[in-house]
Amino acid sequence: MTDNRKNLSDLKPVLGYLLILILFALGTTLLITLNKGWKISELDEAIEQSRVDKKAGITRSIPQNIRPAAAAGRFYPAEPEKLYQEVGSLLSASAPIKLQDVRAVLVPHAAYIYSGDVAAAGFREIIKDFKRVFILAANHSNETHFSGVSLPEFSHYEIPGVQLPLDNIIDELLSDPLFVQEPASHKKYVIEVELPFLYGLKGQPEQPDFTIIPMILGQLDDAAINRLAEILNSLADEKTLFVFSVDLSHFYTDTQARQLDSFTIQAIMGRDNTSLSRTTADGPLVLLTMTRLAELNGWESTLLQYKNSGAVSGDLAKVVGYAAIAFHKPLRLNEVQKKKILEIARAAIEEFLERGDFNDIDPEILQEQSILKIPRGVFVTLKKNGQLRGCIGDIISTKPLHEGIQLCAVRSAVKDARFPPVTQDELDELTVAVSVLEFPTLVRVNNPLEYPEALQPGKDGVIMVHKGRRSTFLPHVWHDIPAPIEFLSRLCLKQNSPPNCWQDSQTTLYRYGTIDIAEDDHNI
C-alpha cells in the first residue's frame, strides 16, 4: 500500500504538467478560432460536420470481391466514354428544379433507352456532396426466395471505368437478424443501372469519393418494414442519400398502365399504405419503406416525370411504367417567386377578359424560375373591396404550377357559379391571392373519433371523402371555424352529408399545407 501511494505521489507532477499542456492547447485553439472571426457555434458546427464526414463513406474492410458489370452493353453502353457521355446528356437535358435538400429519390431501373430520361429527372435534383448511398430494390431473381433484406458479399460493384466501394456499415447491419445474404438476389441489374448516374454526378473521379449499400428486399411484414425504415433513418445524415429503384406497372395497355400508375403515384404522394400494398409496381415493399422513411423525416414529395415504354417502342399494347419522385424538405418560395406567381395570375385574368385567351409563359421565365414547372395543386382567390369575388382551384394536379395558376385564375374570375363573371371595369378593384398546395397525405387514426385530435387547427387544409362525396376547406377556414368538431361537421354539410358523417368508419381524411401569397402582402 505504501509503495502504491509513493508511485501516485511521483506521478502527480507529471499529471500536473499534462493538465497544463491540455489547458494551454485548448486556450490556444479558442484564441485562434476567435482571431479568425469564428463563432463558438460555428466551431460546434465544424466539429459536427467533421463527425458526419468521418461516419459516412467508410469502405468495407474485407478481401477484394468485385461484382462484375452484368448490365453493361444491354441496359446501358459498355464503353466508359460512350456511357458517361450519355449520362451527361441525360442529366443536362433540363435544368434542375432546385428543390430544397433532396436526399431521397424514386427512380426506374429499365434500359436507358426506355427510362434513362426519367431516372435523370430524379438524379439531377439530389444533393451532390453525398458520401454514402443506400440503394433499395425488390428481389427480381427466380433463383431465390427469402425473408428479410439481403446485403451483398462484395467489396465493390463494377461499372464501366470504375469499381465503386461498398460501405462498412454492411458488416454492422449483418449482426441484425433482419439482414441476410442471398447472393442470387444480387445478380440482377436493378441496383447496377443506377450507379452510372451517381458516378456521373460526381464527375467520374479516378478514385470514387462515395460508398454504396445495395439492399435487395425479400418478404417483409409491416413490422419489418417499419423497422427497416427506422434503421435507415438512424443512419441518415447530411452526407447520406437514399435511392429507391422501382418500375411501375408491367405489360398492360397504355391506357390501363396510365390508370394503374396514377393510382400508385397518388398512393406514394399521399402516404396511403393500404393502396401501396395493392400496387402493380415491381417493388411494393420498397415503396412502403420509402414512404415510411419520408414520414420519419417530414419530407414532402414532388413528381418530377412520368412516362411508359410505349413512348419509345411505339407498342402501346404492352408497356412498362416509369416515374421519378423526389423527397425533400417542405417547399419554400422566395419573394421573387411569390411576386412572379401573382403576376402570372393577374396577367391571365386580364388577357382572358380582353381577348378570351391568355398567353403561354415565356420560356425564359420558366428557365429562371424552374420551380414553376413542378405539378402542384392551386387555388386562386379574388376579392373586391375585401369581399369574396371568386375562388376556384385544383387540390391535386398533374399540370405544371404555372399552368395551374393561369387556369385557376381565369376560372375564379369567370366560372365561379356563386358570382357573375368579372368584368374589365372591376380589375382595378380586385385583389388576387394564390394558394400553392402540398400534396394531400392520409390522416391515420385507429378510430374516426380520433380525427378532431389528429388535426392541426390553423395549419391543415382538410379533404373529407365520404361514400364517394368529397369536400375540402383550405387552412385559412380555421380562422372562422376554430373548433375541430365543428370544422369537420361543416365539411360534412358542404358535401351534403349528415353533420356527423366524419364519425363514419367509411370516411377518410387527407391533410395538406399551403403557401399563401396575396397582392395585399406584396404591395402589388
Give pLDDT, residue 235. Answer: 96
For 361, the grid coordinates are 409563359
* Per-residue CA distances from 399 to 94, 97, 395 (Å): 17, 15, 11
Calpha distance 142→232 (Å, rounded): 27
* Pure H helices in 92-236: 112-123, 169-173, 195-201, 222-235
CB 129 within 8 A of CB 102: no
Calpha distance 136→289 (Å, rounded): 9
3-state secondary structure of 178: coil
* Nearest Cα to Cα of residue 124 among 100, 106, 98: 98
CB 33 within 8 A of CB 43: yes
* Per-residue CA distances from 376 to 393, 405, 477, 513, 519 (Å): 11, 10, 20, 12, 20
DSSP state of 471: E
Calpha distance 471→106 (Å, rounded): 31
pTM for the full predicted model: 0.85
Amino acid occupying residue 382: L
Q: How many residues does the chain have?
A: 524
Ordered DSSP codes for 230-299: HHHHHH--TTEEEEEE----EEE-HHHHHHHHHHHHHHHHTT-HHHHTT--SS-HHHHHHHHHHHHHHT-
CB 464 within 8 A of CB 495: yes
Calpha distance 111→113 (Å, rounded): 5
Contacts of residue 6, Cβ cutoff 8 Å, sequence gap at least 6:
none
Give pLDDT, residue 49. Answer: 46
Print pLDDT tens along the chain (524 aa): 444 444 444 544 444 554 544 444 545 444 444 444 444 445 444 444 444 444 567 999 899 999 999 999 999 999 999 999 999 999 999 889 989 999 999 999 999 999 999 999 999 999 899 999 999 999 999 999 999 999 999 999 999 999 999 999 999 999 999 999 999 999 999 999 999 999 999 999 999 999 999 999 999 999 999 999 999 999 999 999 999 999 999 999 999 999 999 999 999 999 999 999 999 999 999 999 999 999 999 999 999 999 999 999 999 999 999 999 999 999 999 999 999 999 999 999 999 999 999 999 999 999 899 999 999 999 999 999 999 999 999 999 989 999 999 999 999 999 999 999 999 999 999 999 999 999 999 999 999 999 999 999 999 999 999 999 999 999 999 999 999 999 999 999 999 999 999 999 999 999 999 999 999 876 65
Give pLDDT, residue 55. Answer: 57
For 299, the grid coordinates are 419530407
Give pLDDT, residue 10. Answer: 53
Q: What are phi and psi of 493, to 5 degrees?
A: -65, -35
**Would you tell me how many other CB atoms lie within 10 Å of the CB of residue 78?**
13
CB 373 within 8 A of CB 366: yes
Tell me how far apart the terminal alpha carbons of the chain are, to the nearest angstrom: 87
For 273, the grid coordinates are 399504405
3-state secondary structure of 482: coil
Q: Using CA of residue 224, residue 52, residue 166, residue 157, what is the dihedral sign?
A: positive
Give pLDDT, residue 28. Answer: 46
Beta bridge mates, 382: 390, 432
* Pure H helices in 93-221: 112-123, 169-173, 195-201
Calpha distance 408→474 (Å, rounded): 15
Give the relative orientation of helices 401-414 and 335-355 as an angle to the nearest 10 degrees. Answer: 50
Give pLDDT, residue 421. Answer: 97
